[in-house]
Amino acid sequence: MHPQRRMQYLEAIGVDLWVTRRDGGARAAAQVAPSASPAVPDPSPPPAETAVRWEALRSEVLKCTRCPLHLTRTQGVFGVGPSRADWLVIGEAPGAEEDRRGEPFVGVAGQLLDAMLRAIGLDRRTNVYIANVLKSRPPGNRDPRPEEVAACLPYLVRQIALLQPKIMLAVGRIAAQNLLATEVPLGRLRGQVHRFGELNTPLVVTYHPAYLLRTPADKRKAWEDLKFARSVYQQLSQGAVTDGNRS
């Protein structure tokens, strides 16, 4: 991605201004100019069988009554993105706007997430899939209950099997703790390469965009997380070992 365009995206999420005022434009330019952007995957359609399995899974989720959340949701929120993607972003559950529109991460927080992803060359229309741990909205946006996560997580596992991502980005404490089956605070989960599921998919943790809207000072940390995830992805693409902490 052209450095100037990345600067525009960072300005949109409020990162470039923070860096520029503190450290000067030269350092900001150095920080936002990577050696390479993630490769855009082959846009060719998936095999017919894979497409059928995606559609069957989507249909199953939209009709799902496995947990009581089906009684209060407007509709299931399956996920959005291409059928095959190297990147998978996972949040906790649909909010009110997502429940109404049937798509994850829409509204103001979704716009911020899109801007953050664009800053590392990702777009939900082409090369990143976005989903939630829970496919139905908890009433009043309360936290997901363990039994709801247990009921719904198999859908995400099946999405991962179809998508075959190279890297997962968990956004927010709830998503990260549920995916990693831990109660470790989000701050201590950042900056590491975790692993998820039978495929041992690398997983990196960052803040939820709704949190960043309330706490803009942490956007800089989120940008560090995105750069870390991008570097992990680049190492994976080159076949390098990726486990370890951010230096």
Spatial distance between the Cα atoms of 227 and 247, rounded to a whole number of angstroms: 12
149 binds ligand SF4 (CB under 6 A): no
Sole window of 7-15, 19-27, 32-40, 132-140 interacting with ligand SF4 (rule: CB under 6 A): 132-140
Residue 179 CB partners (closer than 8 Å, separation 6+): 90, 133, 168, 170, 196, 203
Which residue in the block uniquely carries the two structure tokens 């991962």?
160
Q: Please, are residues 213 and 109 in contact by the beta-carbon 8 Å criterion? A: yes
134 binds ligand SF4 (CB under 6 A): yes
Q: Please, are residues 166 and 85 in contact by the beta-carbon 8 Å criterion? A: no
Nearer to ligand SF4, 26 or 71 (CB): 71
79 binds ligand SF4 (CB under 6 A): no
101 binds ligand SF4 (CB under 6 A): no
Q: How many residues of this chain bind ligand SF4 (CB under 6 A)? A: 14
47-76 positions binding ligand SF4, by CB under 6 A: 61, 64-67, 69-70, 76
Residue 213 CB partners (closer than 8 Å, separation 6+): 108, 109, 112
Nearer to ligand SF4, 24 or 139 (CB): 139
Maximum pairwise Cα distance, the chain: 55
100 binds ligand SF4 (CB under 6 A): no
Nearer to ligand SF4, 15 or 151 (CB): 151
156 binds ligand SF4 (CB under 6 A): no
**Helix/strand/coil for 185:** coil
Query: Which residues form the interface with ligand SF4 (CB under 6 A)?
Result: 61, 64-67, 69-70, 76, 134-136, 148, 151-152
